[in-house]
Amino acid sequence: MELAGPTQRERGLDLIAAHLAGLDLDVERARDRLERTIGSDLTTLLVAALSKRSVAIRPLARPATAVAA
């Protein structure tokens, strides 16, 4: 017998709990845990890719320019 996964409400409550735990100064930051797991360079790339600011600061690709005919 296979059990159903967590409901949307349960996932939401888990996310809220994780966010609130992140406000505790005694809890290690998510970025620090990520750096320990995948390394500093990859963490920096991942955080920049997920950050809205990264597009404004350092775009990954040049925007396409229109060519007049």
CA dihedral 12, 13, 15, 19 (to 10 degrees): 140
Distance CA 3, CA 10 (A): 15
How would DSSP label each residue in 30-62?
HHHHHHHHH-HHHHHHHHHHH-SHHHHHS-SSP
**What's the pLDDT tens digit per position in 20-61?**
887 888 878 888 989 999 999 999 999 888 886 644 445 555
Three-class DSSP category at 23: coil
43 with 51: CB under 8 angstroms?
A: no
Q: What is the pLDDT of residue 67?
A: 61
Q: What is the pLDDT of residue 66?
A: 61
Q: What is the pLDDT of residue 36?
A: 94
Q: Quick one: average pLDDT of 2-11?
A: 84
Q: What is the pLDDT of residue 59?
A: 52
